Amino acid sequence: MTDRAPAPALTPSQELAQKVTHVFQEQTLIRPADQQRLHTGLTGGTLSAEDWIALAENALAAEQSGERR
């Protein structure tokens, strides 16, 4: 028996954000540096069109510079 309390359950928004962020990272659609930004924005429902554009531009720039591979 352990003295630790069980981890709190994720909300549906948190669970979905976690899954989406993981897939985007796995498919190299976002930079590792942008993972938390995406997760936080998805969970809070605060990502704007400009945020999505910035994430895409960051990923493309990283790919072109060879940063992610």
Structure-token pair, residue 40:
């936080």
- pLDDT category at 66 given cuts 50, 70, 90 is confident
Report how far residue 11's alpha carbon sits from residue 61's, in angstroms, rounded to the nearest whole number: 33
Q: What is the pTM of this model?
A: 0.74
Instruction: List, for residues 15-52, the tens digit of each pLDDT value.
Output: 999 999 999 999 989 999 999 999 999 999 999 999 99
The residues, ordered by sequence, that sit 6+ positions from 51 with a Cβ below 8 Å of its Cβ are: 37, 41
The residues, ordered by sequence, that sit 6+ positions from 42 with a Cβ below 8 Å of its Cβ are: 13, 16, 17, 20, 21
Q: Domain ranges for the chain, please list them.
A: 30-69
Q: Is the per-residue pLDDT at 69 higher than 50? A: no
Are the C-beta atoms of 55 and 38 separated by less than 8 Å?
A: yes
Structure-token pair, residue 36:
């938390």
